[in-house]
Amino acid sequence: MDRREGAPVDDRLGCIFVVSDSIGETAELVTRAAASQFDGGRFQIRRFPHVADAEAVLDIVRAARNRPAVIVFTLVQPHLRDVLREATQTLGIPAIDIMGPVMEGISRMTGLAPRFEPGLARRLDEEYFRRIEAVEFAVKHDDGKNPRGLVDADCVLLGISRVSKTPVCMYLAHRNIRAANVPLIPEVEPPAELRSLPSWRLVGLTADPQYILDIRKQRLKVIGLQPGAEYAELDRVVTELAYADRVFRKLGCSVIDITRMAVEETASRILELLRKGEASS
């Protein structure tokens, strides 16, 4: 039995049965909002979640017939809605269908048929929160930050500056992949945590030296620095790429050449590598 906190229940006002083939949160929320308009909402509210067959529906209707009661329901399955409607009409019990009319209206508007799967909204919510978690992970572990957290990554991207590590990580995060990235600099030893990860979770990004050089020069212009910095010299780029290649070989990771490749294409190749690696692990 589910009771509204903060107000005494008066059984004389009647009982509201909330029936759902999922967890019933939507139906209860609507019910409480409506009940609050009547004498402070001091009704007895009983929620019946995960109702999956006709017999369960009939049991609930029978329980409601000997008292002042209303049944509010969000049943996705058409046959369960039909059973409940017929039983409540026979016994003269008011019943309010929250889900059915909305689905029917959308179906008429779009010409599409509903999927009739209970709990889809909740699954969509869970998907959303997983995506948010992945985005937060990518931000927290961008550019080599928090190396201790690398062990929790689904994927770690390695490469020198300007090989699109960060945008690719963010794209992967929107695919629910917890992606981190580590810059490779000849003067800095890579994090030791990388050695504890299976090689299929590590992906090296490389590119043509001139391609990287052009991007770096453009980057210097954007931030207002002179193009003569070592960062934007071809010899330096070649040195960094050679160092990155040695790290890739040492770690045994896959390598993707991102020269003139869109972020989406790079991410797609990484997802394929992760699928193959997970399947073989």
Summarised one tens digit per residue, pLDDT across range 110-165 is: 988 777 776 666 655 677 778 889 999 999 999 999 999 999 999 999 999 999 99
Instruction: Say which residues have a Cβ less than 8 Å from residue 204's Cβ, sequence separation at least 6.
Output: 157, 158, 159, 244, 245, 247, 248, 251, 253, 254, 255, 256
Statement to judge: residues 202 and 161 lie in one domain = yes
- Distance CA(192)–CA(124), nearest Å, equals 37
Burial of residue 180 (CB within 10 Å: 0-12, 13-18, 19+) is: buried
DSSP assignment of 137-149 equals HHHHTGGG--GGG
Specify whether the CB–CB gap between 241 and 249 falls below 8 A: no
Q: Which of 101, 118, 135 is the last residue of a domain?
A: 118
State pLDDT tens for residues 221-232: 888 777 667 899
pLDDT above 70 for 2: no
pLDDT above 60 for 185: yes
Statement to judge: residues 207 and 273 lie in one domain = yes
State pLDDT tens for residues 194-223: 999 999 999 999 999 999 999 999 988 888
Mean pLDDT in residue range 65-71: 89
**3-class SS of residue 24:** coil
pLDDT classification of 6: cutoffs 50, 70, 90: very low
Statement to judge: residues 97 and 152 lie in one domain = no
Q: CB 114: neighbour CB atoms within 10 A?
A: 15
Statement to judge: residues 165 and 216 lie in one domain = yes
Q: Which of 79, 96, 118 is the last residue of a domain?
A: 118
Statement to judge: residues 136 and 264 lie in one domain = yes
Mean pLDDT in residue range 57-81: 91
Q: Which of 93, 118, 143 is the last residue of a domain?
A: 118
- Distance CA(238)–CA(216), nearest Å, equals 13
Q: Which amino acid is at 220?
A: L
- Distance CA(124)–CA(127), nearest Å, equals 5
pLDDT classification of 10: cutoffs 50, 70, 90: very low
**Does the predicted TM-score (pTM) go above 0.85?**
no
* pLDDT (0 to 100) of residue 13: 64
- Distance CA(14)–CA(209), nearest Å, equals 77
Specify whether the CB–CB gap between 179 and 275 falls below 8 A: no
Q: CB 260: neighbour CB atoms within 10 A?
A: 9
pLDDT classification of 22: cutoffs 50, 70, 90: confident
pLDDT above 80 for 40: no
* pLDDT (0 to 100) of residue 8: 41
Statement to judge: residues 127 and 228 lie in one domain = yes
* pLDDT (0 to 100) of residue 245: 98
Instruction: Measure the CA dihedral 28/31/37/43, to 10°.
Output: -80
Statement to judge: residues 90 and 199 lie in one domain = no
* pLDDT (0 to 100) of residue 9: 40
Statement to judge: residues 176 and 208 lie in one domain = yes
pLDDT above 70 for 4: no
pLDDT classification of 5: cutoffs 50, 70, 90: very low
Statement to judge: residues 220 and 268 lie in one domain = yes
DSSP state of 189: P
Q: Which of 171, 190, 81 lies closest to 131, judged by CA?
A: 171
Return phi, psi of residue 188, to 5°. -125, 130
From residue 38, give the alpha-carbon distance in Å to each of 9, 32, 34, 255.
12, 10, 8, 66
Report how many domains make up the chain: 2
Statement to judge: residues 89 and 173 lie in one domain = no
pLDDT above 90 for 71: yes
Q: Which of 257, 267, 160 lies closest to 213, judged by CA?
A: 160
What's the mean per-residue pLDDT of the chain?
Answer: 88
End-to-end CA distance of the chain: 47
Statement to judge: residues 180 and 247 lie in one domain = yes
CATH of the domain at 255: 3.40.50
Structure tokens at 13: 């006002």
* pLDDT (0 to 100) of residue 243: 98
Between 181 and 6, the higher pLDDT residue: 181
Domain containing 137: what range? 122-280
